[in-house]
Amino acid sequence: MREETFDMKKIGIISLFDFRNMNYGNKLQTYALNYYLRHHYPKYNVESLYFRNFLDSKDKNLCMLFISKILRIPAKINSIICIKFFLKDRLRICNDFAVKNIQICGQALTWNDLVNSDYDAFIVGSDIVWGQYRYGISKIKFLDFENKKKFKRIAYAASFGRDWIPKENINDIIRCLRKFQHIAVREESSKYMLGSIGITNVEHTLDPTLLLDAEEWKSVEKEPKLNIGKYIFVYLLGKNNMDRKFITYFANKLHLTIVTVPYACGEFSFADYCFGDVRIKDCSPEEWIWLIDHAEYVITDSFHGIVFSTIFKKKFISLERQFAENINNRMIDYLKTIRQTDKMINIANIKFAEKFEWNYDVIDKCLEKKKHLSKKYLDNALKDI
């Protein structure tokens, strides 16, 4: 139980964090921003917020969309079965990490709680907090409310997850973002997209996981209780069986063990059922970091899989995820930032990966420049709270 400090200014971080999500990138980006703010701005009381349920967004159109998704019974059953029988321990382990390492608000909140709250500032980000469907934005994620005291609106590395905004939402987005004192997005493309609708006071910042250096992440990681030897770490959210077949060929050619975390998307998939030499079903966030840090290669279709690969200076291969252009977009955007776009490949070209060059002098120089700008942005955004 942390000690309450009533004389300190309060900052609430709003991301996609909750206790139903077992995505490693989600948990670790929440940890990173929370940790960075608490350690670099100790005069503020910083906590990550989480919300009661989807219906608390006060968006009728989004509520109806949520209900319609529930009615897609097969996909829903698949997810429930996977969590209940295959991944219940992973969810518990991920939540244990969050409770232990992230300063979190005392209870699940609603939109009404925000209206009646006493926070001095809200920081929205990171992750795809501004992802949306037609006819409705999230009133929570766009801070579409006023409360009993004046508060500062800040976005840090917020992502839309795509290169376009549904035309039905543009006016609401303009109205909400014009109330923000500081806006920073995670994808460079989002900066230009917002500029096209008249929101020009936008900066491009790094994902919060990149605010921490490799040594800070090494202090978090934990070695799994396995005797693996030299290995390729494979972390795939996509369900394409052909990807697994080509990766198996590549690993056999290099005489490396395949270590994988199955069912990364949170649903059962036959593509993952027998794939890999070592399958770590109950992998913790700390072990996930260790597996990337100590791999010979990392093969992934995950944004944060690529990010942590660059943090630990690994040989990484980014796979295109079929029928997921929005996901591919944010990976491509990051690869452009570090000048490594050739590392995103179609799986059929993995046979050429041995000849790739990972120039970490170039990558580090790109990241150091962006990291400096990202930290400077936070200094400026938080100085007058």
What is the reported pLDDT for 147? Answer: 82
Least confident of 125-139, 162-176, 291-305: 125-139
Residue whose tokens read 């006071």: 201
Tell me: pLDDT of 123 over 50.
Answer: yes
Tell me: pLDDT of 72 over 70.
Answer: no
Residue 273 — very low, low, confident or very high, per pLDDT cuts 50/70/90? Answer: confident
Determine the angle formed by the axes of helices 285-293 and 303-311, rounding to 10 degrees: 60
What is the reported pLDDT for 69? Answer: 46
Is cis: bond before 79, omega within 30 of 0?
A: no
Tell me: pLDDT of 104 over 80.
Answer: yes
- Predicted TM-score (pTM) of the model is 0.89
Question: Average pLDDT, whole number, for the chain?
Answer: 88
How far is the C-alpha of 6 from the C-alpha of 307, rounded, in Å?
37
Residue 77 — very low, low, confident or very high, per pLDDT cuts 50/70/90? Answer: low
Q: Decide: residue 26, CB within 10 A, 0-12 exposed, 13-18 middle, 19+ buried.
A: buried
* Averaged pLDDT, 284-296: 97
Nearest Cα to 303, choosing from 185, 113, 128, 139?
128
Q: Which two tokens stand for residue 87?
A: 């991944």
Give residue-wise pLDDT tens across range 160-176. Answer: 988 888 899 999 999 99
Contact 330, 188 (CB under 8 A): no
Tell me: pLDDT of 300 over 60.
Answer: yes
How far is the C-alpha of 75 from the C-alpha of 293, rounded, in Å?
34
What is the reported pLDDT for 355? Answer: 84
What is the reported pLDDT for 62? Answer: 47
Nearby residues of 377 by Cβ (< 8 Å), 6 or more positions away? 156, 182, 184, 203, 205
| More confident site: 350 or 290 | 290
* Averaged pLDDT, 310-320: 95
- Strand, coil or helix: what is 101? helix
Give, in order, the Cα–Cα distances in Å from 203 to each of 114, 176, 339: 26, 17, 19
Q: Which two tokens stand for residue 54?
A: 């989807």
Nearest Cα to 331, choosing from 203, 187, 234?
187
Tell me: pLDDT of 251 over 80.
Answer: yes
Tell me: pLDDT of 276 over 90.
Answer: yes
State the DSSP string of 215-283: HHHHTT----S----SEEEEE--S--HHHHHHHHHHHHHHT-EEEE-S-TTSS--HHHHS-SSEE-TT-
Nearby residues of 268 by Cβ (< 8 Å), 6 or more positions away? 78, 81, 82, 86
CA 255 to chain centre: 32
Give residue-wise pLDDT tens across range 329-342. Answer: 889 999 999 999 99
* Averaged pLDDT, 135-141: 88
Tell me: pLDDT of 250 over 60.
Answer: yes
Give residue-wise pLDDT tens across range 168-216. Answer: 999 999 999 999 999 999 999 999 999 999 999 999 999 999 999 999 9
Tell me: pLDDT of 64 over 90.
Answer: no
Residue 71 — very low, low, confident or very high, per pLDDT cuts 50/70/90? Answer: very low
State the DSSP string of 265-317: TSS--HHHHS-SSEE-TT--HHHHHHHHHT-SEEEES-HHHHHHHHHTT-EEE
- Reduced 3-state DSSP string for 26-76: HHHHHHHHHHHHHHHCCCEEEEEECECCHHHHCCHHHHHHHHHHHCCHHHH
Nearby residues of 330 by Cβ (< 8 Å), 6 or more positions away? 128, 159, 161, 186, 187, 303
What is the reported pLDDT for 78? Answer: 59
Residue 84 — very low, low, confident or very high, per pLDDT cuts 50/70/90? Answer: low
CA 20, 335, 318 angle in degrees (round to 5)?
A: 65
Question: Could you give the maximum distance between any two Cα atoms of the chain, in Å?
Answer: 64
What is the reported pLDDT for 268? Answer: 80
Report the share of the chain in percent with pLDDT over 90: 67
Q: Which amino acid, one-letter code, is at 362?
A: V
Report the share of the chain in percent with pLDDT over 70: 88
